[in-house]
Amino acid sequence: MTRSPLPSSKEFRMHLDDIVAAKRSAWSGARAPVSAAGERATPARAGTFAAALNGTEVGIIAEVKPKSPSKGDLLPLAEAVPLARTYAGAGAAAVSVLADTPYFGGSPDLVAQVANDAEVTVPVLFKDFLVDVRQVQLAHDCGADAVLVIVRSVDDALLADLLAAADGLGLDALVETFTEEEVERAVRAGARIIGVNNRDLRTFEVDLDNSQRLRQLIPPGVLTVSESGLHTPADLARIGAHGFHAALIGESLLTSDDPAEKLRSLRGVRIAQAVR
């Protein structure tokens, strides 16, 4: 199968904001992108995703990502659902599925395929650049249990609207941050699950200390997820020591010869009780 050439990481750094602009353009009119998913197969159960992360050990949110701007092709589409099954069988707390097509090779339909597969028995996160509340409805209709909301991509009013839309549809929202200001905005908006991205999406540089720095700004009672740059049990132990409830892990699983064994090797890290 021949695939379209991917932009280089340099090009992606230059045009990251263009992705959000393109999403806004696509969703700006009455005719928004649609999915073949149709109506949701089973009713959403509020809090399913959050409950899966609220344990005594760092939960693994394992990612299904067909490609990335920095790494190129990662996963043939035909292997996406089988991989999600593998993740569930290996003990993932949840599965994240890319819904973006141009840069990450996913789609809402791919989310629906994973979410509606009988062997994927864990919650599913709809991962995209959300810029319109109709995308939350789309995520719901695909069968997802949660949506990703990137704070830097929205203003405060839209952030509040997206969280309200998710809550109204019985979906959890993982609110992604990268800076202190973004954490403060997420907290003000009432986010119940806050993610800290260790990767600067403008430079692609990874700094695990970002999780440590921002974790202390997140109040008790809010679930926390460390995202990007997590590869080893030592990395998981590091974020567990700072009280993170979960880790979003993609490329280290996708590039592993044995994703199930890799996932198992990352499980079992206790969350520091003093900061839970």
Contact residues for 175 (Cβ-Cβ < 8 A; gap 6+): 149, 151, 159, 163, 186, 189, 191, 193, 194, 195
Please indicate, yes or no, whether the overall pTM of this predicted structure exceeds 0.75.
yes
* 243: alpha, beta or left? (left if phi > 0; alpha if psi -120 to 50): left
Answer yes or no: 251 catalytic: no
Answer yes or no: 198 catalytic: no
Answer yes or no: 39 catalytic: no
Exposure letters 145-156 (e unless 16+ CB within 10 A, then b):
bbbbbbbbbbee
Amino acid 18: pLDDT: 79
Catalytic residue among 23, 67, 127, 262: 127
CB of 200 within 8 A of CB of 188? Answer: no
Tokens representing residue 229 in the block: 């740059």
Tokens representing residue 218 in the block: 């997140």
Tokens representing residue 59 in the block: 């939960």
> Could you list the mean pLDDT of each consecutive 10-residue stretch along the chain, which spans 276 residues?
39 63 81 60 88 97 90 90 98 98 92 97 97 94 97 96 97 97 98 94 83 96 96 96 97 95 97 69
- In the block, tokens 């949660």 appear at 146
Catalytic residue among 63, 96, 107, 153: 63
Answer yes or no: 57 catalytic: no
CB of 145 within 8 A of CB of 172? Answer: yes
Answer yes or no: 181 catalytic: no
Measured between alpha carbons, how far is 85 from 203 in angstroms, rounded to an integer?
A: 33
Measured between alpha carbons, how far is 141 from 16 in angstroms, rounded to an integer?
A: 27
Measured between alpha carbons, how far is 133 from 119 in angstroms, rounded to an integer?
A: 29
Catalytic residue among 210, 211, 226, 227: 227
Domains observed in the chain: 57-275 (3.20.20.70)
Total number of residues shown for the chain: 276
CB of 166 within 8 A of CB of 172? Answer: yes
Catalytic residue among 96, 198, 228, 262: 228
Strands 94-98 and 172-177: unpaired
Amino acid 240: pLDDT: 97
Amino acid 32: pLDDT: 58
Catalytic residue among 65, 96, 210, 226: 65
Number of H helices, E strands in the chain: 11, 10
Measured between alpha carbons, how far is 66 from 228 in angstroms, rounded to an integer?
A: 16
Tokens representing residue 78 in the block: 């035909």
Answer yes or no: 176 catalytic: yes
Answer yes or no: 226 catalytic: no
Catalytic residue among 197, 210, 211, 226: 197
Phi, psi dihedral angles at 163 (to 5 degrees):
-65, -40
Catalytic residue among 96, 153, 176, 262: 176
